[in-house]
Homo-oligomer: A and B are copies of this chain.
Amino acid sequence: MKRRDFVTGLGGAAAVAGCAPETRQPSTPAQSQQRFSWDLVTTWPPNFPGLGTGVNTLARYIGELSNGRLEINVYAAGELIPAFEVFDAVSRGTTEMGHGAAYYWRGKTEAAQFFCTIPFGMNAHEMNGWLYYGGGMALWREVYEPFDLVPIPAGNTGVQTGGWFNKRIDSMDDLRGLRIRMPGMGGEALKIAGATPVSLPGSEIFTALQTGAIDAAEWVGPYNDIAMGLHQAARYYYYPGWHEPGPTLECIINRQAWEQLPEDLQAIVSVACQAVNLDMISEFMARNAGGLSQLEADPSVEVLSFPPDVLAGLKAATLQVIEELAAADPVVARVWNSYKTFLDESEAWQRISEQAYVATRG
């Protein structure tokens, strides 16, 4: 399935035509005219709003910046590779590139989820501070190195919503016995609260919720949830998204493919990913705002806040989950230590900046 191809570009053509190498600009060696065609497999439904379309934007940026020298062919979940096999496919080199969420890979390494999001953890703003300027990226590269994967942050949804419930949640007791679609560490915290976490790919959530196979489901936020029709499958829409306060989405690249790129194309991929990291959350900001207005005008939907004691209970459960993971896995312990150290300082700063500011809005 690997179909990277090296079309000889201008450098080669010129040489063939008898132009001596020394007539070339030093900054445009023959290598930099090599052309690459990469497959990018995602964990998202085709052209999925925000997530899938964000990957399309990434592919377009890379094509435009490289003037066509690096072509990225985007495949939705299942088109080449099933959603939850993206990590293995890129690790093996079956495809050069993947896009998804690191917490899907906790079966490979529990530490992965800290590079996406953890319940009651960093918001998007803090994640970017930690990853780009707080030591996070060095740890992430180290954690993925054994899998021959190069990780690059490439998107964020911002704070998600708490999910769709077919009954009201007025206390921790109300969570007991519920089957709730929630991946990752949030699901583990729900287990401690007496609920049963269910892991389902996005495409199966609507039917499961509508048929009552599950009692509740979180997906992303108003924009995506409406696109999936979840507002027609359950009545109570809870906030905030305690379980996903700012998930970083990842671009993963097979190490050998990465090392075969000339430096300028590596820079193009890295910078395009950083631009998309902002572009995606900006689209979510705009479209979730519009989506919320639509839901608040819908008489069949009630937008409700989780009660404080439920949030406190889930926070305590989350801490228990993290401490158990850190005690069992030294890699998790190191990542958690770096994450927690940054979060303690950033919480204090956010308290007198973003948090104090939005509070003036009443």
User: Interface residues, chain A, CB within 8 Å of chain B?
Assistant: 7, 9-11, 13-14, 16-20, 23-25, 27-28, 32-33, 35, 61, 64-69, 120, 123-126, 128-134, 158-161, 221-222, 239-242, 245, 263-264, 267-268, 271-272, 274-275, 277-279, 281-283, 285-290, 292-293, 296, 303, 305, 311, 315, 342, 345-361
| Residues of B with C-beta under 8 A to A67 | 27-28, 32, 264
List 11 other contacts, CB 8 Å, given A64-B267, A240-B359, A292-B349.
A10-B14, A17-B18, A17-B23, A67-B264, A132-B282, A242-B360, A274-B279, A277-B278, A289-B342, A305-B356, A358-B358
- Which residues on B sit within 8 Å (CB–CB) of A221? 353
**Whole-angstrom distance between the Cβ of A149 and the nearest chain B Cβ:** 22
Determine whether the beta carbon of B281 is less than 8 Å from that of A128: yes
A246–chain B nearest beta-carbon distance, Å: 8
A282 and B358 form a contact (CB under 8 A) = no
A28-B33 contact, Cβ under 8 Å, with A14-B10, A356-B239, A357-B240: yes
A345 touches B289 (CB 8 A): yes
Report yes or no: B17 in contact with A25, Cβ–Cβ below 8 A.
no
Q: Tell me how far the C-beta of A102 lies from the nearest C-beta in chain B, rounded to whole angstroms.
A: 18
A selection of 6 A-B contacts at a CB cut-off of 8 Å is: A67-B264, A132-B282, A133-B286, A240-B353, A271-B271, A286-B346
CB distance from A185 to the nearest CB of B (A): 16
Which of A132, A289, A296 gathers most chain B CB within 10 Å? A289
Choice from B32, B158, B268, B348 contacting A353 with Cβ under 8 Å = B158
The verdict on A159 contacting B357 (CB below 8 Å), with A14-B10, A286-B133, A352-B305 known, is yes
Contact B354 A358, beta carbon cutoff 8 Å: yes
Contact among B275, B278, B354 with A354 in the assembled complex (CB-CB below 8 Å):
B354
- Pairwise interchain contact B286-A134, C-beta atoms closer than 8 A: yes
Asked if residues B352 and A64 are in contact (CB atoms below 8 Å), the reply is no
Taking a contact as CB atoms under 8 Å apart, the answer to whether B16 and A61 are in contact is no
Q: Which residue of the partner chain, among B7, B65, B281, B342, contacts A264 with CB atoms under 8 Å? A: B65
Contact partner of A292 (CB less than 8 A), chosen from B268, B293, B352, is: B352
Measured in the bound complex, the distance between the Cα atoms of B290 and A130 in whole Å is 12
Contact B283 A132 (CB under 8 A): yes
